[in-house]
């Protein structure tokens, strides 16, 4: 079996992915990529190895900025250390501004019932504090809220606001530690240290060398204890964009974890800038809220 695999691999490099799916042999997975690299089937980019900065930038682009806009239904499960679960369901709309790095986000909460109909809007600026608004339907009230707390939990989950809407590449200094295989994907292992104050002292990311998505991230505190861990649990190609459709964030200190499943993902649906205004906070755009 092993010999057959080697043989076909050498004969037909296109079979690499297919083989990985079919055989699922650990040993094979471990050695296939280096061997393939050795035989020149996967370009190692030794000639044009991307800089750590470039890896970080491309990863941010792939993770937070794909397409001109996106519509997605999120299901978020919060599990505490006793296994007690809480669930949040929301629709998220994202629009990329022509001004590079700037984005607008609109979130509509479907459940739990106490927050049903609540909406939340973020105007994200590269290199500056975001603007945020929240709408409370029972009071028919829009409030602008301060946004200098990017490290705060997003709706009680293990994800922070920053995790949800992204960082700027210049917020951290990046170092490429190594290139290694993670679950069959060649990954750049990048260490990023925040330039200013942050909730972590450093983070280590495994970034898919082909799709540029982060497959795993580990966050360390100032005593170099690993405190949080992000994993991309499922990745799918949707509308030509590789998308993490299931992701988890674990707090390793408290045992609390959050799993987020993306469904009904659509890219380039034609969202307009005018959608991201107070008007639609009060009157959610039903065409897009499903």
List residues binding another protein (CB under 8 A). Answer: 78, 80, 86-87, 111-114, 116-117, 129, 131, 138-141, 144-149, 151-153, 155-158, 256, 278-279, 283, 285-287
Nearest approach in angstroms of CB 275 to another protein is 11
Nearer CB in complex with another protein: 10/145: 145
Nearer CB in complex with another protein: 33/78: 78
Strand extents, DSSP E, the chain: 69-79, 85-96, 103-111, 119-124, 131-136, 141-145, 172-182, 185-194, 202-208, 214-220, 226-238, 241-251, 257-267
Nearest approach in angstroms of CB 108 to another protein is 12
Nearest approach in angstroms of CB 290 to another protein is 9
Nearest approach in angstroms of CB 93 to another protein is 13
Nearer CB in complex with another protein: 30/144: 144
- 3-class DSSP state for residue 149? coil
CA distances in angstroms from 102 to 94, 123, 152, 167, 259, listed in the order given: 11, 8, 21, 11, 27
Nearest approach in angstroms of CB 25 to another protein is 40
Q: Are 206 and 222 in contact (CB under 8 A)?
A: no
* C-alpha span between 85 and 78 (Å, rounded): 5
Nearest approach in angstroms of CB 95 to another protein is 17
Nearer CB in complex with another protein: 18/278: 278
End-to-end CA distance of the chain: 48
Residue 70 structure tokens = 């996106």
Nearer CB in complex with another protein: 149/236: 149
DSSP one-letter code for 169: G
Give the DSSP H/E element, type plus range, for residue 11: helix 2-11
* C-alpha span between 148 and 139 (Å, rounded): 25
């Amino acid at each position: 079996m092993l010999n057959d695999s080697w043989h076909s691999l050498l004969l037909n490099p296109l079979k690499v992915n297919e083989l990985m799916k079919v055989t699922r042999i650990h040993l094979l997975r471990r050695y296939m990529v280096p061997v393939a690299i050795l035989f020149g089937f996967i370009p190692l980019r030794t000639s044009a190895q991307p800089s750590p900065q470039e890896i970080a930038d491309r990863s941010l682009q792939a993770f937070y900025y794909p397409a001109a806009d996106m519509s997605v239904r999120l299901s978020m499960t919060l599990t505490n250390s006793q296994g007690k679960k809480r669930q949040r369901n929301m629709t998220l709309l994202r629009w990329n501004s022509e001004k590079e790095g700037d984005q607008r986000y609109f979130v509509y909460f479907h459940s739990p019932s106490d927050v049903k109909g609540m909406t939340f809007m973020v105007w994200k600026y590269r290199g500056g504090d975001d603007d945020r608004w929240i709408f409370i339907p029972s009071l028919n009230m829009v409030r602008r809220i301060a946004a200098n707390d990017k490290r705060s939990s997003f709706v009680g989950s293990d994800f922070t606001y920053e995790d949800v809407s992204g960082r700027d590449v210049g917020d951290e200094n990046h170092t490429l530690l190594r290139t290694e295989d993670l679950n069959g994907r060649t990954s750049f292992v990048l260490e990023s240290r925040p330039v200013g104050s942050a909730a972590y002292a450093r983070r280590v990311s495994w970034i898919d060398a082909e799709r540029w998505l982060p497959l795993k991230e580990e966050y360390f505190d100032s005593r170099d204890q690993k405190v949080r861990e992000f994993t991309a649990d499922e990745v799918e190609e949707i509308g030509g964009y590789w998308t993490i459709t299931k992701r988890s964030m674990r707090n390793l200190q408290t045992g609390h974890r959050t799993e987020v499943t993306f469904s009904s993902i659509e890219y380039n649906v034609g969202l307009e800038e005018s959608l991201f205004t107070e008007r639609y906070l009060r009157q959610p755009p039903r065409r897009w809220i499903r």
